[in-house]
């Protein structure tokens, strides 16, 4: 799914679910296909789990990959969920796949982040061999600091209860990595805040960083985007040139296109939600409009109109959803909606079209006095095979007081309609085995029946 960027860059959303944890990302192509990738990692307080995502990087001639720090609903600092480091594995896999899809080498990649995002840039960049790392105000004791300052985040990352051993495990990640001297060719830039607070872990890690010949401590006033421009151009402030690629690109634009398509947040194989009511020819009152439908496999349905978010309707385990809005403006309405599954993937879009009149009162339709609209039947689904003793009917009926049931001209029964339009009915005895076609009709205030809705199903031996 594409969204309008803050300035002029087209941003593509996706979810890579190939690892232990689904990874949500945003990607923007370089304006002129420059051979560099910037991976942006978020801090705890970055909006919506994305860092530097409000247009600051739009003028930078670089491919940009933003990775969201939201796993199971909370921040993990790209490390772990209840000490399960499958999060790190999943994030590292996405960075590697995007790098390869662009046909880039790892020295043509910059890991970039602030605060905990800077810590993640150091950790992932050093551990997985990327060429450039920019860490703005990183934390170094990753367990104890979050445990002291962000208890809820600590519980999400370390598990509950949080333990000293787990906190020490996270505290040791960056010091141990730096002490090992891994990825000695990396260009490392660390912006250290001048807060005057003694920090033993910071001093230890800065001392270890000084062993890296291409490591720099950057003043807080240094123009970071100028630094980014130099790194993208293959230059570092010491004016040494990054090595040129010794082999042709492995993939290129076609490769990244395939990757973006396969991990797109909108999946064509995920069925769009079905709108059962209202129909495109329905004329409804301004109050009491309820949208009803089906979305098997989804956890919610997202509803929009004219680009404005309306609501998120939960989907039952049986695949049913419904949503009512208190009032609508008179005129034609075109509501766009899509289903969302448990991983965050979205279905293609569908539409609900109807017309609202302020000359009608709830429950009255222009078909004639006392005539109700046909009911919506949610259960049973058409042509379903159901045990004979378990066939019941549920649905909605706009403007009706009762709903009736008839088969082969014989009335089977009726039920009352609740104030919100919902109804349900179960016959007193079991159905005979075999196919059944039941006509379901609404009964209006004047006792007039609506057009019937026919449902065919097969009753089977229990």
| 253 in the same domain as 382 | no
Determine the average pLDDT of the residues in 390-413.
86
Average pLDDT, the chain: 83
Q: The domain that contains 146 carries what CATH number?
A: 3.40.50.1820
Its domain, for residue 421, covers 376-460
Question: Residues 354-370: pLDDT tens digits?
Answer: 888 877 655 544 444 44
* Report for 173-177, 311-315, 422-426: range of highest mean pLDDT: 173-177
Q: Does residue 65 lie within any of the structural domains?
A: yes
Confidence of residue 91 (pLDDT cuts 50, 70, 90): very high
φ/ψ region of 119 (left if φ > 0, alpha if ψ in -120 to 50, else beta) reads: alpha
pLDDT at residue 245 in the model = 39
**Does the structure show a pLDDT above 70 at 5?**
no
Predicted TM-score of the model (pTM): 0.66
Confidence of residue 325 (pLDDT cuts 50, 70, 90): confident
Of 299, 264, 263, 292, nearest in space to 277 by CA = 292
Residues near 259 by beta carbon (within 8 Å), at least 6 away in sequence: 97, 98, 101
| 180 in the same domain as 303 | no
pLDDT at residue 156 in the model = 95
Residue after which a domain boundary falls, among 325, 357, 389: 357
Q: The domain that contains 278 carries what CATH number?
A: 2.60.40.10
| 80 in the same domain as 228 | yes
Q: The domain that contains 440 carries what CATH number?
A: 2.60.40.1220
Residue after which a domain boundary falls, among 262, 284, 306: 262
pLDDT at residue 58 in the model = 83
Confidence of residue 263 (pLDDT cuts 50, 70, 90): confident
pLDDT at residue 198 in the model = 58
Residue after which a domain boundary falls, among 228, 262, 296: 262
pLDDT at residue 92 in the model = 96
Burial class (CB in 10 A: 0-12, 13-18, 19+), 438: buried
| 386 in the same domain as 346 | no
Count of structural domains, the chain: 3
**Does the structure show a pLDDT above 60 at 252?**
no
| 399 in the same domain as 330 | no
Determine the average pLDDT of the residues in 413-418.
90
Residues near 419 by beta carbon (within 8 Å), at least 6 away in sequence: none
pLDDT at residue 372 in the model = 65
């Amino acid at each position: 799914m594409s969204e309008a960027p803050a300035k002029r860059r087209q941003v593509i959303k996706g979810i890579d679910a190939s690892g232990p944890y689904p990874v949500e990302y945003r990607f923007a192509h370089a304006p002129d296909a420059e051979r560099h990738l910037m991976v942006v990692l978020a801090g705890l307080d970055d909006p919506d789990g994305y860092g530097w995502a409000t247009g600051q990087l739009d003028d930078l001639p670089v491919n940009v990959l933003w990775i969201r720090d939201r796993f199971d609903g909370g921040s993990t600092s790209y490390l772990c969920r209840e000490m399960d480091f499958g999060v790190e594995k999943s994030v590292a896999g996405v960075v590697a796949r995007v790098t390869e899809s662009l046909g880039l080498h790892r020295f043509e990649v910059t890991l970039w982040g602030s605060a905990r995002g800077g810590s993640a840039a150091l950790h992932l960049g050093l551990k997985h061999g990327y060429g450039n790392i920019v860490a703005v105000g990183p934390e170094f004791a990753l367990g104890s600091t979050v445990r002291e300052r962000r208890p809820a985040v600590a519980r999400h990352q370390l598990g509950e209860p949080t333990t000293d051993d787990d906190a020490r495990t996270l505290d040791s990640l960056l010091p141990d990595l730096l002490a090992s001297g891994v990825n000695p060719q990396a260009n490392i830039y660390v912006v250290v805040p001048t807060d005057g607070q003694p920090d033993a872990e910071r001093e230890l890690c800065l001392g270890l960083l000084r062993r890296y010949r291409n490591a720099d401590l950057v003043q807080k006033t240094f123009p970071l985007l100028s630094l980014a421009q130099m790194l993208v151009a293959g230059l570092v402030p010491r004016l040494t040139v990054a090595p040129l690629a010794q082999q042709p690109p492995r993939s290129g634009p076609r490769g990244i296109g395939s990757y973006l398509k396969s991990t797109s947040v909108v999946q064509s194989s995920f069925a769009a939600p079905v709108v059962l009511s209202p129909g495109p020819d329905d004329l409804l009152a301004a109050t009491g409009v309820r949208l009803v439908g089906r979305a098997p496999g989804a956890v919610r349905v997202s509803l929009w109109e004219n680009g404005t978010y309306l609501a998120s309707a939960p989907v039952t385990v049986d695949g049913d959803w419904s949503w009512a809005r208190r009032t609508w403006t008179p005129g034609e309405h075109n509501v766009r909606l899509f289903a969302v599954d448990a991983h965050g993937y979205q279905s293609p879009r569908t539409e609900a079209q109807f017309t609202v009149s302020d000359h009608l009162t709830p429950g009255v339709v222009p078909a004639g006095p006392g005539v109700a609209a046909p009911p919506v039947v949610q259960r049973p689904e058409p042509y379903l095979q159901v045990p004979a003793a378990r066939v019941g009917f549920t649905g909605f009926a706009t403007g009706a007081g009762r709903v009736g049931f008839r088969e082969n001209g014989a009335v089977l029964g009726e039920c009352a309609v609740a104030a919100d339009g919902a109804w349900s009915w179960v016959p007193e005895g079991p159905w005979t085995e075999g196919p059944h076609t039941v006509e379901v009709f609404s009964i209006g205030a004047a006792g007039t029946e609506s057009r019937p809705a026919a449902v065919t199903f097969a009753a089977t031996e229990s």
